[in-house]
Structure 1
């Protein structure tokens, strides 16, 4: 049985209770990684043949292996909670109650409807209570949940709720702005539109002055 860190289990179980976890099949969790990699490569190989590609070509013959490794180790690595970032907290001994904000966090994800790239940036803020998190850990949590087949609305909520439960405070805010290549490269082929989602908790939701302060800092160069 695969074991995850305390923080990973807390995040995963909280999202399950809120019906915000990705649709991940539990029965696949114990498949050996090498076996999973081999099986994915075999299926990619079949897809390429069905697309009438010459899989014996020097440029293509290693493509199934490349895609398999890329799926598991890179663009879908967030499906496995063993990759959940190690979290560093410090006690809020200074009794800080001011907003901490990290903006322009790079996001690269994959649309779960078309398996094509969505990318953009996130701005995350929180007002601490008893804990302060290492700044880079906010980026890592954001990027962990982006490394999955995703929809932007779910991704936004996941990041907010996980930070709330790990930091033990409701005072978290997030705005995500992304380009969807399923919109740009297919279908309507609109190359100019972006999608913005947001989620606010605690004082960011109930206090207009704090929410306005968040937007002011977010939009400051």
Structure 2
């Protein structure tokens, strides 16, 4: 959706301020916090799990090596939690329809992101959320979900792709073609709608 919104802005306003355009991917980080908190047996509010890449199941990359609080997960836990986060957004399970997400978790994620935006706009320092933003962090990708520091002008700083494990690197390499495809679909949709 973000590429569609940005392309529409370009056609009507002539410029896009990339610091003020956000794709909300907080639901992915909320899911990550929930799954990790079950392993740690603590409240999800106490856990932060960055999720980078895209927002579709094939393109999101949970960065479990950067969980806060810092913990060491086994390989089996890492794979299980990664798959759970990625599959939580799937629309079907073995051919049977299931809800994409519950209303409450989606509402919670939106409220959390809007609260973070408000804190950033108010000038609070150190407000960091994952968001799908216009980016040149990876030169071949024009949009990417990364951790961003929010401030009075929107994105104060894109924190980019952190140092990731070999497993996470493999996930990212797998995700890149899907991210490119999703971006292209949005841009092509906008181009067709303008004709």
Shared topology, TM-score over 0.5? no
Q: TM-score range by the shorter chain?
A: under 0.3
TM-score, normalised relative to structure 2: 0.26
Q: Which has the higher contact order (CA 8 A, sep 6+)?
A: 2
Q: Which structure has the bigger radius of gyration?
A: 1
TM-score, normalised relative to structure 1: 0.24
